[in-house]
Structure 1
Amino acid sequence: MSNQSSITLNIVDPGTNGVTCQSQSGCFTPINVKVKVGTKITWVNKSKLAHTIVAVQGQDIAQPKAASQIFDSKKQIASGDSFTYTVTDAAYNFNSDTHRVLYYCSIHPDMVAQLVITK
């Protein structure tokens, strides 16, 4: 996916189209995405529940802490709504050793996915 200038990721309910979610509340799909700086990402909520999309400080998903300066939907994304973010140099440099940004749903913190960012 890293060569596309824009991509769409989905938030789905467990079992949707055979998707297995670790969370009972839903999941991001795909869960692991490689993107370039400048890529426009749109998350579409296809779940029945509202969700958020928030970058995580570091790599600790057991007790995630928001990295709102990277990205944060700031509001609940209702079913059928979306959130868009364009990948920045700040996101690339955020975890400079791995260039990975984990993100989660602050309502359902066991919903986690990651972006691997390239230049």
Structure 2
Amino acid sequence: MKARLLAVACLMLSMPVWANEVKIDIKEFMFGPKDLAVAVAVAVAVGTKVTWVNDDEIPHTVAEIHKIFRSGALDTGDSYSWVFNTPGEFEYFCALHPQMIGKIVVSQ
């Protein structure tokens, strides 16, 4: 458990909160950057544009669990972007492969 928390903390520190744009790769049935836990967590500031890019050979989607945002099917090379204008935690998954999960943490 401690190792998982440490991995998430290190990952969150690796993404600067002042970034205006963040890219998340979709590859090998995972959202990346990835950590040792199952989910990827990325910390960003309000107003940050996050872009998911499908680098996999099969389609994937990006769907927030409360339906705040949802992409269509992304083929290889396709991307989907969302600007996070409110603070909070936004958990998402691939609707085609629900084991693929991630989280965006938006701070002021």
Q: Is the shorter-chain TM-score for this pair beyond 0.5, marking a shared fold?
A: yes
Match of 1:48 among 50, 57, 61: 57
Write the distance in 2 (CA, Å) between the matches of 1:36 and 1:88. Answer: 9
More helix by share: 2
Superposition map of 1:63-102 within 5 A? 67-68=66-67, 70-73=68-71, 75-89=72-86, 92=87, 99-102=88-91
Task: State the structure with bigger RCO (CA 8 A, min sep 6), 1 or 2.
Answer: 1
More strand by share: 2
Q: Where in structure 1 do 4 or more consecutive aligned residues deviate above 6 Å?
A: none
Matched residue type, 1:84: S
Counterpart of 2:32? Answer: 29
Matched residue type, 2:105: V
Matched-pair identity in %: 31
Matched residue type, 2:54: N
* Alignment RMSD: 0.9
Count how many residue pairs are aligned between Structure 1 and Structure 2. 87
Matched residue type, 2:30: C
